[in-house]
Amino acid sequence: MAGVSRSTIKDFECNRHAIHRATEALLIRAFEEGGVRLIPAQGEGPGVRLSCRYDNAQPNTIN
């Protein structure tokens, strides 16, 4: 969890106010720890990618 209140996120999503930089950093860290990679506007274009996670397992390989 990011440690950010629901009302803060809801207010931001509804354009009631901007979020503070510290709050933004908490949200980004929580997303990244959850396997979400945020892609900046430069290069590939803005968006997200989901990271592949393997818990104690080896990825399948094709020989």
pTM of the model: 0.66
The whole-number pLDDT of residue 59 equals: 53
Residues of the chain with pLDDT under 50: 63
Residue 55 lies in a domain: no
Q: What is the pLDDT of residue 23?
A: 94
Cα 4 from Cα 25, distance rounded (Å): 11
Q: What is the pLDDT of residue 63?
A: 46
Q: Does residue 18 sit within a domain?
A: yes
pLDDT score, position 21:
95
* Residue 59 forms part of a structural domain: no
Range of 28's domain?
Answer: 6-50
Q: What pLDDT is recorded for position 18? A: 92
Structural domains counted in the chain: 1
